[in-house]
Amino acid sequence: MYWLQILLYGVYAYLSLGLIFGLWFVFKGAEQIDENMHGATWPTRLLLLPASIALWVVLLKKYLKHQRHGS
């Protein structure tokens, strides 16, 4: 049962970091990667939040790669 608690805490940590990153990403970071996000309304951005939380590692890599290339 101890390994199940560790796994559960790992999922909680992943989702907590995802929520923090996701909120930042949908309101600030997405505009830097995708020019179509400029002028998007906040309800549209909130629709993107669940996917940003779940895929925060992938989006962070894409954001960092974009920043490195300066595009």
Contacts (Cβ under 8 Å, ≥6 apart) of 56: 17, 18, 21, 22, 25
Q: Which long-range contacts (CB under 8 A, 24 or more apart) does 59-62 make?
A: 59/21, 59/25, 59/29, 60/21, 62/33
57 and 25 Cβ atoms separated by less than 8 Å = no
Whole-number pLDDT of residue 15: 97
CA–CA dist 39, 35 (Å, integer):
9
pLDDT tens readout for residues 12-50:
999 999 999 999 999 999 998 888 888 899 999 999 999
Whole-number pLDDT of residue 70: 72
pTM (2 d.p.): 0.84
